[in-house]
Chains A and B, each alone.
Chain A
Amino acid sequence: QVQLQESGPGLVKPSETLSLTCTVTGYSIRSGYYWGWIRQPPGKGLEWMGSVHQSGTNYQNASLKSRVSISLDTSENQLSLKLTSLTTADTAVYFCARLSITGGWWYFDLWGRGTLVTVSS
């Protein structure tokens, strides 16, 4: 059974950098698929942040500009998220998910439960 588990600090300060990790069990991320992050601010909808493949191909939400970095660690079977220059608007539940790209179809077939990150001084 494939499972995804997010981890990281629950509280970070404005202007700092957020680092989150998603540990994948039951499947080797080197075997394929894209992997990515989605977030949900309190009371708001989902926002795709970006997705990456072990080949190095990556897709990123342009609205986050250069603040987002997503990478894979195949030795640890983890994906990571770094988000710089935090503001209170970055307070959200952060989900990691597996993205299936089949032909022209893109869909997240597995998700983690998410981790709440609060940006506050």
Chain B
Amino acid sequence: SSELTQDPAVSVALGQTVRITCQGDSLRSFSATWYQLKPGQAPLLVIFLKDRRPSGIPDRFSASSSGDTASLTITGAQAEDEADYYCNSRDSSGHHLVFGGGTKLTVL
């Protein structure tokens, strides 16, 4: 079982704001990284180093964290943001990596 917990599915109206959360004890020690997965495509890093966006990731993607919960926020969701989103961090030992179960985002 995953040590990081995500809601299986979230929906958002086009242009509105949505928050995807990730919860786990390891997040008290290690920040979450966020990835976007679309069928048939290479997974894409969207947030790293706590709240940084790689080149090419729109600034509507942002991240925050508090205690054992990390959040990915999309402000003004677009149709192309419809995808599966996974959080990831080091586990409590610090020597391994764990992924959340993923959140399927639907843009209505």
Interface residues, chain A, with chain B CB atoms under 8 Å away: 4, 38, 45-48, 51, 59-62, 95, 97, 100, 102, 104-114
Selected interface stretch from B62-70, B72-80, B97-105:
B97-105
Chain B: residues with Cβ within 8 Å of the partner, total of 27
| In the complex, chain B residues whose CB is within 8 Å of the CB of A61 | 96-97
Please name 28 pairs of A and B residues whose Cβ atoms are closer than 8 Å in the assembled complex, sorted by A: A38-B99, A45-B2, A45-B101, A46-B35, A46-B37, A46-B43, A48-B97, A59-B96, A59-B97, A61-B97, A95-B43, A97-B43, A106-B89, A106-B97, A107-B33, A107-B48, A107-B49, A108-B33, A108-B35, A108-B43, A108-B88, A109-B45, A109-B54, A110-B42, A111-B42, A111-B44, A112-B42, A113-B41
| In the complex, chain B residues whose CB is within 8 Å of the CB of A109 | 45, 48, 54
Given A105-B31, A106-B97, A108-B43, 15 more A-B residue pairs with CB atoms under 8 Å apart are A45-B86, A45-B99, A45-B101, A46-B88, A47-B99, A59-B97, A61-B97, A105-B48, A106-B30, A106-B89, A106-B90, A107-B45, A109-B54, A113-B42, A114-B42
- Partner of B86 from A46, A51, A113 at Cβ < 8 Å: A46
* B58 adjacent to chain A (CB < 8 Å): no
| In the complex, chain B residues whose CB is within 8 Å of the CB of A62 | 96
CB atoms of B102 and A108 under 8 A apart = no
Q: Give the A-B pair count, Cβ closer than 8 A.
A: 68
* B40 adjacent to chain A (CB < 8 Å): yes
By beta carbon, the residue of chain B nearest A61 is B96
CB of B40, distance to nearest CB on chain A (Å): 7
Provide the B83-98 mask, 1 if CB < 8 A to any CB of A, else 0: 0001011100001111
Give the residue among A4, A45, A105 with the most B Cβ atoms within 10 A: A45
A59 and B93 CA atoms in complex are apart in Å by 12
A45 and B104 CA atoms in complex are apart in Å by 11
CB atoms of A107 and B88 under 8 A apart = yes
| In the complex, chain A residues whose CB is within 8 Å of the CB of B97 | 48, 51, 59, 61, 106
